[in-house]
Structure 1
């Protein structure tokens, strides 16, 4: 019989609320602690989600409890590293909401801490469980697209002057870059779909707003190790609805979002539409957290590696960091960063 896994939520905000609802659906997961900036804030979150558990304003209080198995880090981005380092040192497994962190030194320190502690991690790149992306990835693995030539993903999400945009979203020191704050979903998606390491990044960036103190639009060109190429775009300032674009072109078939054309069906002359769930909402209630949590719990129960863990997600993060360097310095950047 599998055990019940006790989770401490660190950072009880909007995203944590969606995770909490996923945790509550499972018989083998229990929320055992909520850590907020204030005890009142943590307690309010617990009450909102019908939780009966201790609440505190210190992660150390939760970490000292031997019953806590997993720490969910859902804080503002600049606080991820310190929480993950503390959790790993305490021997806790960790769920890390994207992005993993905001700097390469922090990424290296977090990977080392997790490796030394022997704990498991999973990163919140939840689009790996989106039905459309799973359909495309399975089609690639099964050879329906032939050899991949080119892939493209775009994260287009206007956050300027929106009610849900918080002050910490607007600063490089707390939010990161446009790729880090949201576009990393698109970078991870293209990695997941193509399934090959990226060896070089060339990027450009621009801004048409002074509301963010980092470039609000980034475009990265990627070279994969097998010669295929990719493009990832991220724009946080355009006046438009949320859009997540996915295109993959191969020698035997191609996808443009949920439209497929290729050699699979004799006589097919154009793109056929596949009815499925698209990654077409920025609302966390639309995100497939159920799949992410199921992946971690199954890995813990069976002793296998969950994916994407911090080692796998490090490749996504390095592409984000390389894109910032490339755009700033006007040169291609080779990967891995070292």
Structure 2
């Protein structure tokens, strides 16, 4: 298997989990870490225990490192698009943290840049490697639910000043975050697309007013229609007093799934709930997310010369759907997809 030299651009909250996962993969070696300041990058290198890596405060300089051929984009949401365009032009493969962009202009620019460069990409919807997500995907694939009629997924994660999470400083600003539905709701949006398959063809949405320090809506509900007939509701809320909660409900003609439990004609006597043995995600701490599985998967994709199933083209579809919900919530009109 080939060896990969890693550059980590953006040295914040999630970047440390990328670093640890790369360190544990025998085929990856972190060669460069970049941050807003050189001192910050050096501090992270020391904290993460990756001696030998070089520190940078300039993306172009990091990309010039001769041994870097894969870059993790871990900057705040609003920087992703410009960073990806620059990295693609340098011919480097990328793991792009979600959401890939905060608006359609940036989304189109990064998509076009990656297409032109022909580099491999993966968008960081890390919950694909959570045991429950894997189990839900298998339940659907095995036909235990039959044709799925309706889905409801929720991302409820209190993110206020008192919760002291690092991303709060920029999440409160719409220009930097894009929206709460992009920042948090993109997880369930990605999940419902993965579980149900097909394409989202129409979206509608409602949002509440801002609260606290936020200058944009802190709660949004999106309604979706798929090309195969299923409908779905996705919600994202960061202001309620509630621990991190990720609900998954899939209702089908042959069975229903509620988080880790399945009620199906094809299981047992068809009259009782069966536990899948995998609890739903219950922590918003990035250290609780399965980054090792995600990064091992993408490195294997690169070694086989194939793109990730969650490449930028796929991430564009998830992001489009989130943006469509936000547009619908603002205009009061349903939005047809695709947008690009």
TM-score (norm 1): 0.97
Contact 1:130 1:277 in 2 (8 A): no
**Out of 202, 215, 218, which is 2:217 matched to?**
215
- After alignment, is 174-183 or 37-46 more displaced? 174-183
Matched ranges for 1:198-209 at <5 A: 198-207=200-209, 209=211
Aligned to 1:115: 115
Aligned to 1:163: 164
Gaps of at least 5 residues in structure 2 are none
Aligned to 1:54: 54
Deviations 1:56-107 (A, max 9, x none): 1011111112311111110111111111111100000011001101010111
**Out of 244, 264, 267, which is 1:265 matched to?**
267
Matched ranges for 1:275-314 at <5 A: 275-314=277-316
Instruction: Give the Cα–Cα distance (whole angstroms) in 2 for the partners of residues 206 and 91 of structure 1.
Output: 42
Instruction: Give the Cα–Cα distance (whole angstroms) in 2 for the partners of residues 252 and 261 of structure 1.
Output: 9
Q: CA deviation at 1:134?
A: 1.2
Instruction: Give the Cα–Cα distance (whole angstroms) in 1 for the partners of residues 85 and 223 of structure 2.
Output: 32
Contact 1:132 1:276 in 2 (8 A): yes
Instruction: Give the Cα–Cα distance (whole angstroms) in 2 for the partners of residues 265 and 77 of structure 1.
Output: 43
Q: CA deviation at 1:120?
A: 0.4
Aligned to 1:22: 21
| Secondary structure of residue in 1 paired with 2:174 | coil
| Secondary structure of residue in 1 paired with 2:176 | coil
Contact 1:160 1:237 in 2 (8 A): yes
Q: Give the total of aligned pairs.
A: 337
Q: CA deviation at 1:312?
A: 0.6
Instruction: Give the Cα–Cα distance (whole angstroms) in 2 for the partners of residues 270 and 90 of structure 1.
Output: 56
Instruction: Give the Cα–Cα distance (whole angstroms) in 2 for the partners of residues 274 and 79 of structure 1.
Output: 39
| 1:77 is aligned to 2:77 | yes
Q: CA deviation at 1:278?
A: 2.0
Contact 1:295 1:307 in 2 (8 A): no
Aligned to 1:88: 88
Contact 1:140 1:146 in 2 (8 A): yes
Q: CA deviation at 1:208?
A: 5.7
Instruction: Give the Cα–Cα distance (whole angstroms) in 2 for the partners of residues 208 and 104 of structure 1.
Output: 23
Contact 2:77 2:99 in 1 (8 A): yes
Contact 2:120 2:311 in 1 (8 A): yes
The runs of at least 4 aligned residues of structure 1 exceeding 2 Å deviation read: none
